[in-house]
Chains A and B, each alone.
Chain A
Amino acid sequence: MSIDAHILKPLDFFADFNQQELEECAAALKPRTVKAGEIIIKRGTPALTFFIILSGTYEVDFEKDRSIVLEKKGEVMGWSTVVHPFHYIGTVKASVEGEVLEISSRDFFELIQGDNALGEKIMKKIDAIASERRTIAAGSQ
């Protein structure tokens, strides 16, 4: 089941998207409820889905005991789906019940097929987030 574009509008990730772009993204994203304690991403497994937080708190554990907590609405998880290294570099566990939006890599590439510019825009944004997280994972911060 897809969502309404207005749900995406207030999210940071989509702040600079126009209405048509929001509608295209909304058609591709699927909402999912996450239970407390559920592991939605396992480190080392192939990255096939990425997630955007709508609610809840998520602990991300990287290698060498480094971790961060993501709870801000609009934060992205599982960005390795579209950028290097294509396998998850952290394990994501929900601390409390929450809701996320998910999109598989297959659906993401179909989105790009239908709108190349939108796809590139999303990928560049994800890459910026990925650079930051890789730095944390490597322990430079």
Chain B
Amino acid sequence: MYGLEAISANNGWAMAITGPLIVMSGLTILALIISQLHKIVAIFDKKPDSATQSAVEDKISVPKILPDNILETADIYQALIDKLEQPFELKALYRIAEQNDFPHPILTVGRFRVAGILVPEGEGLFVWKR
């Protein structure tokens, strides 16, 4: 038996409709549950994500091209540093810089490190010496 006849004889159409529906429904429900997971966890933790929250609310204005002078650039970055508790991880600084649309944060942070403005404290943590 071949062709459409074979599919019908083997119950193929029913399987091909039911199967994807089951998979899609199952994974949709899973996606819905995990989309709420962080809220459920937050209720139990009772700790709002304040660093991200305040960064989004108080967006800092920044020029499209940062000055060549590293000290002037550091003055612009001061507003970001004030939002972080020292010592901090560089990924927190990158995140807050990207949220405020700072250009090329990784290159700029590299310049701060070379200039001794951003100094490592060990265990991946840094302090702002300005």
- Residues on A lying within 8 angstroms of B by beta carbon are 12, 15-19, 21, 117, 121, 124-125, 127-128, 131-132
Taking CB atoms, residues of chain A closer than 8 Å to B107 are 128, 131-132
Q: Give every chain A residue within 8 A of B126 (Cβ-Cβ).
A: 16
Q: Closest CB-CB distance, B14 to chain A, in whole Å? A: 36
CB distance from A97 to the nearest CB of B (A): 29
Which residue of the partner chain B has the closest CB to A117?
B91
* Residue in B closest to A131 when the chains form the complex, CB atoms: B107
Interface contact A18-B106, CB-CB below 8 Å: no
Determine if A125 and B106 form an interchain contact, defined as CB atoms under 8 angstroms apart. Answer: yes
Residues of chain A within 8 A (CB-CB) of B106 are 124-125, 127-128
Question: Is B91 touching A128 in the complex (CB atoms < 8 A)?
Answer: no
A18 near B89: Cβ-Cβ < 8 Å: yes
Q: Which residues of B contact A125 (CB under 8 A)?
A: 106
The answer to the question of B76 belonging to the interface, with a C-beta cut-off of 8 Å to chain A, is: no
Query: Known contacts A125-B106, A128-B106; is A16 also within 8 Å of B123 by CB?
Result: no
Q: Which of A19, A117, A121 contacts B123 (CB 8 A)?
A: A19
| Pair B123/A15 contact, Cβ less than 8 Å | no
- Answer whether A19 and B91 are a contact pair too, CB < 8 Å, given A125-B106, A128-B106, A128-B110: no
B90 touches A16 (CB 8 A): yes
- Smallest beta-carbon distance A123→chain B, Å: 11
Q: Give 1 or 0 for each of B105-128: 1 = CB within 8 Å of chain A CB.
A: 011001001000000100110100
Asked if B91 and A121 make an inter-chain contact with CB atoms under 8 angstroms apart, the answer reads: yes
| B123, A18: Cβ atoms closer than 8 Å | yes
- With beta carbons under 8 angstroms apart, the residue of A18, A128, A131, A132 that contacts B124 is A18
Residues from chain B with a CB closer than 8 A to the CB of A17 are: 124
Give Cα distance in the complex from A25 to B113, angstroms.
22
* Chain A residue, CB-CB nearest to B114: A12
Could you list some 12 contacts between A and B, CB below 8 A? A12-B113, A16-B90, A16-B91, A16-B124, A17-B124, A18-B123, A117-B91, A121-B91, A124-B94, A124-B106, A127-B106, A131-B107
Which residues from B are CB-within-8-Å of A121?
Answer: 91
CB nearest neighbor in A for B93: A16
- How far apart are A8's CB and chain B's nearest CB, in angstroms? 11
What residue of chain B has the Cβ atom nearest to residue A127's Cβ?
Answer: B106
The 8 A CB mask of B90-101 against A (1 = contact, 0 = none) is: 110010000000
CA distance A15 to B120 in the complex (A): 7
Taking a contact as CB atoms closer than 8 A, the residue among B90, B104, B124 that contacts A19 in the complex is B124
Task: Select the residue from B89, B110, B126 with max chain A CB neighbours within 10 A.
Answer: B110
